[in-house]
């Protein structure tokens, strides 16, 4: 089964060379899916499909779209931290537009598309699954992704605190406005930025008018505030 795993890091962007470097996967941490990628998980797939192999197949995509290849890995290797990559972006307008989004800090996260080959379940004393070790993966691609307006409900579910959500929204809003001012983007991207800005502004406005949660000793009393935030965001995203 094809899997997607998100939220790793961009390390560096070289504007002159059109290169982006970073980590497409990090070892040793249990993610929100209950998976832990272990060292060695990518060794075989890199050997068989990586940039130095006889048949290089792995690509750097935009938002997991197989039709939107924005770069190819010149380096793909495991180190002590995780799966390190160096990508050469294409010279076409679309790829250069996406490179600019990395330069401006609009894109800061990576996600991988893969198949599980070998796994090992880690169970607790009652026999319930604690997490799953990913021992070997077949890597198809890694993608530059954003948590943009369509994924804001995931941010709410993960954090649950209005202050944290507001901070993330304001940070994204600042980056979008800065990108629009520099005038380096295609008309299509500029329109997408403007649409996202309007939705974020509406969400911020809705969060400001939500009633403050009643502070109680039991965590269940916090749920109505989280539910109100989710309902507010979903209403705006559907508009």
Higher pLDDT, 180 or 147: 180
Domain boundary among 124, 145, 166: 145
For residue 224, the model assigns a pLDDT of: 47
Q: Encode 33-63: b = buried (16+ Cβ within 10 Å), e = exposed.
A: eebbbbeebbebbbeebbbeeeeeebbbbbe
- CA dist 230 → 112, 157, 159 (Å): 27, 8, 12
In this prediction, residues 87-104 reach a mean pLDDT of: 93
226: containing domain: 149-238
Q: Two tokens at 188? A: 């299509």
For residue 149, the model assigns a pLDDT of: 34
Q: Are 189 and 130 contained in the same domain? A: no
pLDDT band at 158 (very low <50, low <70, confident <90, very high): very low
Q: Are 23 and 45 contained in the same domain? A: yes
- CA dist 132 → 35, 114, 118, 153, 188 (Å): 5, 15, 10, 25, 41
For residue 186, the model assigns a pLDDT of: 85
pLDDT tens track for 129-147: 999 999 999 999 999 887 5
pLDDT tens track for 38-91: 999 999 999 999 999 999 999 999 988 889 999 999 999 999 999 999 999 999
Q: Are 160 and 93 contained in the same domain? A: no
Length of the chain: 239
Helix axis angle, 223-238 to 152-159, nearest 10°: 170
Q: Are 166 and 133 contained in the same domain? A: no
pLDDT band at 171 (very low <50, low <70, confident <90, very high): confident
pLDDT value at 114 more than 60 = yes
pLDDT value at 183 more than 70 = yes
Domain boundary among 102, 123, 145: 145
For residue 69, the model assigns a pLDDT of: 95
Q: What is the domain count for the chain?
A: 2
Q: Are 128 and 190 contained in the same domain? A: no
Higher pLDDT, 173 or 207: 173
Higher pLDDT, 145 or 231: 145
- CA dist 220 → 27, 94, 215, 227, 228 (Å): 34, 47, 10, 12, 14
**Which of 81-90, 145-154, 192-201 shows the highest mean pLDDT?**
81-90
Average pLDDT, the chain: 80
Q: Are 164 and 233 contained in the same domain? A: yes
For residue 176, the model assigns a pLDDT of: 84
Q: In the chain, how long is the greatest CA-to-CA distance?
A: 62
Q: Are 122 and 209 contained in the same domain? A: no
């Amino acid at each position: 089964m094809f899997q997607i795993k998100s939220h790793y890091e961009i390390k560096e962007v070289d504007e002159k060379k059109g290169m982006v470097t970073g980590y497409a996967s990090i070892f040793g941490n249990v993610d929100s899916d209950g998976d832990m990628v272990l060292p060695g998980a990518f060794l075989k797939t890199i050997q068989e499909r990586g940039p130095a192999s006889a048949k290089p197949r792995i690509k750097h995509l935009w938002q997991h779209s197989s039709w939107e290849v924005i770069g190819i890995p010149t380096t793909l290797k495991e180190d002590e931290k995780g799966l390190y990559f160096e990508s050469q972006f294409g010279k076409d307008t679309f790829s250069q537009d996406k490179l600019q989004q990395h330069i401006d800090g609009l894109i800061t996260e990576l996600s991988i598309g893969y198949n599980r080959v070998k796994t090992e379940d880690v169970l607790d004393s009652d026999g319930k699954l604690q997490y799953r070790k990913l021992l070997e993966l077949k890597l198809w691609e890694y993608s530059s992704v954003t948590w943009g307006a369509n994924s804001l409900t995931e941010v709410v579910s993960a954090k649950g605190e209005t202050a944290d959500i507001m901070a993330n929204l304001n940070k994204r809003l600042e980056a979008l406005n800065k990108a629009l001012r520099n005038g380096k983007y295609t008309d299509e991207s500029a329109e997408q930025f403007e649409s996202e800005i309007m939705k974020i502004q509406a969400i911020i406005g809705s969060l400001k008018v939500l009633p403050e949660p009643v502070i109680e000793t039991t965590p269940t009393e916090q749920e109505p505030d989280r539910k109100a935030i989710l309902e507010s965001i979903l209403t705006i995203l559907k508009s």
